[in-house]
Structure 1
Amino acid sequence: MNSVVAAVLAAALLSACLISPAFAAEGDDDRARHLDILGWVEFVEFVDPNIRLKAKLDTGATTSSLNALNQKRFKRNGKEWIRFDVEDPDEPENRVTFEAPVVRNVRIRRHNDETQRRPVVKLGMCVGRIYRERQFSLIDRTEFVYQVLVGRNFLRDHALVDSGETFLSDPRCKALEDQHADKRNKD
């Protein structure tokens, strides 16, 4: 290959490398316009049973986590289930009991190199306009400021997290609206 052809190929390759990020960024901008922007702390609301809690949105965590008190495993129709309580630390009288099938168990390695086995359940939760049913590992988080940690499994493809802001959006999902309408109709 002569030096002129090599120079032309090198220039074309360099141009492709410089132009590609511009196209990628343009596509990312279009996608970003369809994502909700949430603060690193938001109110979340669980559906059935209904409880509203403060949550930390943690893009470093894969799976979401929920403070689950009084955990009791039991069998139902041959499958493992778990019953647990969730309470709002700001309003301790606001306590609900969940029952859900155990989807899996995970082993979490703690900072002190100790491992911990946690049950994982699938729950419906609303953050801003986003309602999703996703997996939550259950743990006693009473010593933590936030009772819910929202991980990437919930946020992916639906939200951007602004690490400098908090409480940008109240929970207002269609699933919540439907649940509140059902309660009003029953009353």
Structure 2
Amino acid sequence: MRILGWVENVALMPEGIVLEAKMDTGATTSSLNALNKETFERDGKDWIAFDIIDPDDESNKIRLEREITRHVRIIRHSGNHQRRPVVEMGLCMGDVYRKKEVSLIDRTALSYQLLVGRNHMAGAILLDSKDKYLQAPDCNLD
């Protein structure tokens, strides 16, 4: 088990893009800030292209593509329903690598582009709720 803080730098894999992430044991599934979402078909399967904010230059965006694994229906506090696409995404947290589901949502009004849920942490990561930035991403995928 690795001990991480409640905020960590986490790498999106395989791209290696490092984002500041909130580690959230209250969230079942991880979620990522995804802007300008466009769905398309590739080899008979549904895919999605989306932008994330470049962590090195917030005026730039980085385009990513992933296959859609499913859609999830979220009931908001207001009672409204929201349908979100879900993709599989590898995350490197410290030296822990996990490829699990991530829901795509516009999180620009929130403090962190990436929220890491229990699905990426379970059985591998413990959180220290008083600390931040305990381990930089360092995963060897070879």
Q: Could you state the TM-score of these two structures normalised by the residue count of structure 1?
A: 0.72
The yes-or-no answer on 1:122 pairing with 2:50 is: no
Match of 1:140 in 2: 106
| Larger strand proportion of the pair | 2
Q: Post-superposition shift, 1:126?
A: 0.5
Match of 1:58 in 2: 24
SS of equivalent to 1:174:
coil
Deviations 1:58-109 (A, max 9, x none): 0011100000111000011111100011113562255321111100000011
Residue 48 (structure 1) aligned with residue 18 (structure 2): no
Unpaired stretches in structure 1, ≥5 consecutive residues: 1-34, 179-187
Identify which of 18, 34, 46 aligns with 1:80.
Answer: 46
What is residue 151 of structure 1 aligned with on the other side? 117
Contact conserved, 2:18 with 2:55, CA < 8 A, in 1? no
Instruction: Pick the structure with greater CA Rg.
Output: 1
- Cα distance in 2 between the residues matched to 1:87 and 1:67: 8
Residues in 1 aligned to 2:56 and 2:74: alpha-carbon distance in whole angstroms: 28
User: Which structure dedicates a bigger proportion of its chain to helix?
Assistant: 1
CA distance in 2, matches of 1:87, 1:39: 23
How many residues are paired up?
142
Calculate the TM-score normalised by the size of structure 2: 0.94
> Structure 2: 5+ residue runs without aligned partners?
none
Corresponding residue to 2:34 among 68, 90, 108: 68
Q: CA RMSD in A?
A: 1.3
